[in-house]
A and B are shown apart, each in its own frame.
Chain A
Amino acid sequence: MSILRSVTIGQYLPGDSVIHRLDPRTKLLLSFAFIVVLFVVRGFLAYALFAVMVALVANAANVPLRMLLKGLKPLTFIIALTVILHFFTTRGGTTLLELGFLRVDSAGVLQGVFLALRLVLLVTATSLLTLTTSPIALTDGLERLLAPGQRIGIPAHELAMMMTIALRFIPTLIEEADKIMRAQLARGADFETGGLLKRARSLLPLLVPLFISAFRRADELAMAMEARAYRGGENRTRMKVLRFSSLDVWAVIVSIAAFAVAVLVGRLA
């Protein structure tokens, strides 16, 4: 039960910090730029700089570091796998360890740690985006960014709407799953023991009601939207119009400067 509650990906932490007040478009674009630079740049020094950037932004946004690291939990396995695979498969440098057919080279260790760091930075930076931007603002920003694409047939509004609804229902469905799980536990269900097949089967009493309720909710939502005469994209006005402020200009300037330094440092290494 507590497993479901610990999901932090996509979670929003309400607040009124500088980072919270930035325009969602700015945050989206800068996050995207961060990811691109993260993949282009090489070298531990540059990555240390990125880590400092993430920590500074988290600090400015009043996001506790623990909360940020909790988002990494579901990825522990992937990160560990990356490290182990690189330890044993990447060749080069001096041989550190030899165990039968297994060999660990120094290049492998460096590469493994480097890629693990990349994953950690990737996840923490993107969680910062969702932690400081409400889902509504996020999809609103995305819609505006995609709007020019409408001319070439990208259904920007529909995509944004679908995303809004999906995000909106993640906590609802988690809560629902939690409730159904408890109800079945109260009837003596066992979700934890047994082999893979038995465990998969034991999920049926959870999944069937969950699907039924998801469909019911979808149906009700569609009806409620229709009852209020909802009709997609064109000519819709908004209550809150997104506007860039001087804050956004500063954020862009500071970020670009930091990215430039990171690229330079990466080159030198």
Chain B
Amino acid sequence: MPIVVEHLTYTYGQGTPFEVRALDDINLHIGDKEFLGIIGQTGSGKSTLIQHLNGLIKATEGRVLVNGIDLTDKSANLRIVRQSVGLVFQYPEHQLFEETIYKDVAFGPKNLGLPDEKVKERVHEALELVGLDANTMVDRSPFELSGGQMRRVAIAGVLAMQPQILILDEPTAGLDPRGRDEILDQLVSLHERKSMTVVLVSHSMEEIARVATRLIVMHDGKIIVQGSPREVFTDAQRLRSIGLGVPQVAELMQALQQRGYQVPPVALTVGEARQAILGLSAKGAGGR
């Protein structure tokens, strides 16, 4: 189920004095089973972009095609698209509303008109997918959970729709490091085990470097750099100039290179950097 975005432009408040061009001629192709990272400063248009991908916002100009369906077409069946493109908003726990976790996660599948048996199956599966024990949790109120758990219940609410593409807008915002790691690990395993296409929006380079296979960098409503994390982080200067910077390990590699050590220009993980540095000392001081 590929997503194709062609010459997408979106203007907020068109025709009023508050007119703002949020997206400017975006072209993007998201292939099957991709793990795409979208980075950019606050206000760079990333949240606006992803809401186009399941038809919540209609493009001012250009087209968005999901599996061949043109979302800008008036007759497009958006409910079908919204079922296959799951969208998790920022702070998704703010959308919880039911008395029990079960009912809240079941909201999506019920809207799909599934029979009770199927709904139950999906609720349990979705809760397990986000690492919550369905059997002990279903009858509890979502409002007595911790922040991290609430967020996972909310994400389960989207997963219960069984989308083929999962889009998440800053899913780790405001979580502690442990909660953040858990969510990221679950995303990676969803991507691998369920071979789901995942689109992750974030402003944390560290996070994106760890999980994404391809990156796009947004600035002022435009895509300014795209490619593999390695390619993108090579141009650290450019990223810094728009206030983003590169992950710390990549920065370390670049600092070493500047001092004349022969290391690869980019490392994405601490392990990789360690290897490179150990390689240096094996070669002795001659590495310099």
Chain A residues in contact with chain B, CB under 8 A? Answer: 1, 5, 13, 64, 67, 176, 179-180, 182-190, 204-205, 208-209, 212-213
Contact = CB atoms under 8 A, between A and B. Distances in A.
Given A179-B94, A204-B97, 5 more contacts: A186-B54, A186-B158, A187-B107, A187-B157, A188-B108
Nearest to A185: B56
B278 to A, nearest CB: 47
B113 to A, nearest CB: 9
B10 interface: no
B87 A186 contact: yes
Interface in B74-104: 79, 82-83, 86-87, 89, 92, 94-97
Contact of A205 (B17, B54, B56, B97): B97
A182 B111 contact: no
A67 B87 CA distance: 34
Residue in B79, B82, B97 whose Cβ sees the most chain A Cβ within 10 Å: B97
A185 B107 contact: no
B50 to A, nearest CB: 10
A209 B83 contact: no
Interface string B15-47: 011000000000000000000000000000000
Contacts of B51: 182
B267 interface: no
A187 B89 contact: no
A161 to B, nearest CB: 27
13 contacts: A1-B56, A67-B16, A182-B56, A182-B89, A183-B95, A184-B95, A186-B87, A188-B83, A189-B107, A189-B111, A190-B79, A204-B97, A208-B97
B4 to A, nearest CB: 20
Contact of B161 (A179, A180, A188, A208): A188
A209 B91 CA distance: 12
A183 B17 contact: no
Interface of B: 13, 16-17, 51, 54, 56, 79, 82-83, 86-87, 89, 92, 94-97, 107-108, 111-112, 143, 157-158, 161
Contacts of B89: 179, 182-183, 186
Contacts of B111: 187-190
Interface pairs A-B: 5 shortest CB-CB: A188-B111, A208-B97, A187-B108, A183-B95, A186-B87
Contact of B107 (A5, A179, A205, A213): A205
Contacts of A13: 17
Contacts of A180: 94-95
A231 B13 CA distance: 39
A210 B108 CA distance: 19
A17 B16 CA distance: 18
A186 B157 CA distance: 10
B16 A187 contact: no
B190 to A, nearest CB: 17
Contacts of A184: 95, 107
Contact of B97 (A176, A179, A209): A209
Nearest to B47: A179
Nearest to A202: B111
Residue in B16, B83, B96, B107 whose Cβ sees the most chain A Cβ within 10 Å: B16
A43 to B, nearest CB: 36
Contacts of A187: 82, 107-108, 111, 157-158, 161
Contacts of A209: 94-97
Contacts of A190: 79, 111
A182 to B, nearest CB: 5
B107 to A, nearest CB: 6
A213 B161 contact: no
Contacts of A205: 95, 97, 107
Nearest to A13: B17
Contacts of A64: 17
Contacts of B94: 176, 179-180, 209, 212-213
A204 B110 CA distance: 15
Residue in A188, A189, A205 whose Cβ sees the most chain B Cβ within 10 Å: A188
A20 to B, nearest CB: 14
A183 B154 CA distance: 10
A208 B142 CA distance: 13
B97 A186 contact: no
B54 to A, nearest CB: 6
A147 B17 CA distance: 36
B30 to A, nearest CB: 17
